[in-house]
């Protein structure tokens, strides 16, 4: 059951992250256009958007790691030994998914024409 539901839930998390970031980037079209018009490179704009969204990812991950043992009685240990692939692998996979889900709308936003972005509203 976990083999089927795990990737499905990971895909739903990726879609959710992409939707939120895409909506946030769409609302900042004018700001991104001004930055590009003043000479910011597209790589700089992409890094800024990814950096801003990773703050929220780390905040949520820290909250989950802090409340998980109290909220869920499931232990990720085997005979008293912490299962490191679980505690290191799952956040690494989610970090990769969050990176790709943030990079796609950021890259799309960095390719807009500055004049079209300024005329957007």
Query: Over the stretch 10-57, which tens digit does the pLDDT of each residue have?
Result: 788 778 878 887 888 878 878 888 888 888 898 998 888 888 877 766
Instruction: Tell me the pTM.
Output: 0.64
* Domain residue limits, the chain: 2-116
Among 5-9, 16-20, 28-32, 91-95, the range scoring the smallest mean pLDDT is 91-95
Among 35-49, 71-85, 95-109, the range scoring the smallest mean pLDDT is 71-85
On the question of pLDDT at 1 being above 80, the answer is no
CA 84 to chain CA centroid, nearest Å: 23
CA distances from 42 to 13, 54, 91, 109 (A): 27, 18, 28, 9
């Amino acid at each position: 059951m976990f083999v089927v539901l795990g990737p499905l839930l990971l895909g739903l998390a990726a879609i959710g992250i992409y939707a939120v970031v895409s909506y946030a980037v769409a609302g900042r079209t004018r700001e991104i256009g001004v930055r590009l018009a003043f000479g910011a490179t597209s790589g700089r704009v992409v890094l800024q958007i990814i950096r801003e969204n990773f703050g929220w990812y780390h905040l949520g991950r820290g909250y989950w790691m802090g409340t998980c043992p109290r909220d869920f009685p499931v232990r990720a240990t085997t005979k008293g030994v912490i299962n490191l692939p679980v505690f290191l692998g799952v956040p690494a996979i989610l970090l990769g998914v969050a990176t790709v889900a943030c990079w796609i709308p950021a890259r799309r936003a960095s390719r807009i024409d500055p004049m079209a972005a300024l005329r957007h509203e």
